[in-house]
Amino acid sequence: MKRTCMAVVLAAGESTRMKSSRSKVLHPVAGRPMIAHVVESLVGASISSVALVVGRDADAVTAAARRDDIDGSAFVQTERLGTGHAVLAAREAIARGYDDILVVFGDTPLITAAPLMAARRGLADGNDVVVIGFRTADPTGYGRLIIENGALLAIREEKDASEDERKISYCNGGLMAINGAKALDLLGRIGNANAKGEYYLTDIVEIARAAGGKAIAVEAPETELTGCNNRAELAAIEAIWQKRRRHEMMVSGVSMIAPETVFLAYDTRIDPDVTIEPNVVFGPGVTIESGAVIHAFSHLEGAHVGAGAAVGPYARLRPGANLGADAKVGNFCEVKKAEIGAGAKVNHLTYIGDAFIGARTNIGAGTITCNYDGVNKHVTQIGANVFIGSNSALVAPVSIGDGALVASGSVVTEDVPEDAVAFGRARQEIKPGRAKLLRERYQAEKAKRQNK
């Protein structure tokens, strides 16, 4: 599209019904603030100029909306006098002159690029106002779209609607596109003579028509316009987002055995031919290569899983975990800021933190890298083809050379050279017959007590 466009993102609401100490647009959906989802959709619709209207938590909201690929400016709406008033907080930015002005809400994170583009096409077709609408079984609380012969005559807010108008199920999603050349003039004519005494952005439809312009509505799916006013709606939005993204992943080749139990983050990247078993949770920053399997009940965040690797069941990959091809991290293992080399195995009940593990190395059950001395973190280096016996404690900083073997139960405090064996535990002693003697003594003592 050749036309220039700026989006005004309204995020100055009080968020009263969220009952939160921070603005609702900062609450996360799929692991990032909902306002960031809205801005991403704008970018998806090729919009690179954004004017953000903020109220409470202005700095945090501005930071959450910031991106390198948009030219953004923020405006504070000091009094909350309605959506029409809010858009005019960005007067200065609108005055720069754009072909299209798009108004979107910061609390509608499921919006996609498609309806935004459709609204802009409506302007290109000669309309002055294009409203994004949706149909719903329960229109309570929404502004109703009054349509006649395809033209949008007016939007009637619930509180100002007649009984007949309230029966209309076609609603205002709140988002609209306005002819940029006329926007400031039209917005300036909005008054507040209504049931709530607010400056309603929605009045712009009748104002544009009275000035000889045309208005239409374009329909979008209801789910895309779900707004977040309270925590129940936040959870509903999360559920819709998750369902949508799981579907996208499955059709692109990812297997999910019980998709409804898998939780993805906004940036989770999974290649085709990966299998995700039930009850897996992804925090931000995870990438998984083809052929890997994530077994049930695993939690991954900030981690990379190489091709053909296996994780879990019941594994935890924390930020900086990097598994090479065909590596295995098994049940009740935690890996943090560590490289696990190709084909290496960390299969049972182990903590690996701040470590490098070479290719094909086997880490026995119950191994712990003791990376923290209470003040600082230290690194454990383990070479390739190493065997670490079960229940070993590797006290960092320490390094273990290629091909070395650490005897089970060792506390390793000194570096182990290549191909060496390290015993870091007391030598075993054998006392022949001693167990029998002890047993007889204990039985005699017990009999004596019972005969008293």
Question: Which positions are annotated as active-site residues?
Answer: 348
What character string, x for contact with ligand UD1 (CB under 6 A) and - otherwise, covers 160-189? -----------xxxx---------------
- Which candidate, 47, 32, 199, places its Cα nearest to that of 115? 47
- Which candidate, 29, 28, 69, 73, places its Cα nearest to that of 52? 73
Whichever of 55 and 389 has its CB closer to Ca ion, that residue is 55
Q: Report helix, strand or coil for 110.
A: coil
53 binds, among ligand UD1, Ca ion, none (CB under 5 to 8 A by kind): ligand UD1
Q: Least distance in Å: CB of 236 to ligand UD1?
A: 14
Torsion of CA 386, 390, 394, 398, to 10 degrees: -10
Q: Least distance in Å: CB of 197 to Ca ion?
A: 17
Q: Least distance in Å: CB of 127 to ligand UD1?
A: 18
Pairing type for strands 334-340 and 316-317 reads: parallel
Of 5, 8, 11, 39, the residue at the interface with ligand UD1 (CB under 6 A) is 11
Token code pair at residue 367: 């191994």
Of 7, 29, 45, 53, the residue at the interface with ligand UD1 (CB under 6 A) is 53
What character string, x for contact with ligand UD1 (CB under 6 A) and - otherwise, covers 64-93? -------------x--xxxx-xx-------
Cα 35 to its chain centre, rounded Å, is: 12
Number of chain residues interacting with Ca ion (CB under 5 A):
1
Residue type, 284: P
Q: Least distance in Å: CB of 148 to ligand UD1?
A: 18
Cross-strand bridge partners of residue 19: none
Q: Does 334 bind ligand UD1 (CB under 6 A)?
A: no
Residue type, 322: N
Whichever of 142 and 241 has its CB closer to Ca ion, that residue is 142
Burial 258-294 (b: 16+ CB within 10 A, else e): ebebbbbbbebebbeebebbebbbbbbbbbbbebbbb
Helix pair angle (58-65, 34-44), 10° resolution: 40
Cross-strand bridge partners of residue 176: 103, 131
The DSSP symbol for 168 reads -
CB 218 within 8 A of CB 122: yes
Q: Does 224 bind ligand UD1 (CB under 6 A)?
A: no
Q: Does 142 bind ligand UD1 (CB under 6 A)?
A: yes
Distance CA 179, CA 93 (A): 14
What character string, x for contact with Ca ion (CB under 5 A) and - otherwise, covers 216-235? -----------x--------
Q: Least distance in Å: CB of 47 to ligand UD1?
A: 18
Binding footprint of Ca ion on the chain (CB under 5 A): 227
Binding footprint of ligand UD1 on the chain (CB under 6 A): 10-13, 53, 77, 80-83, 85-86, 105-107, 142-143, 155, 157, 171-174, 200-202, 227
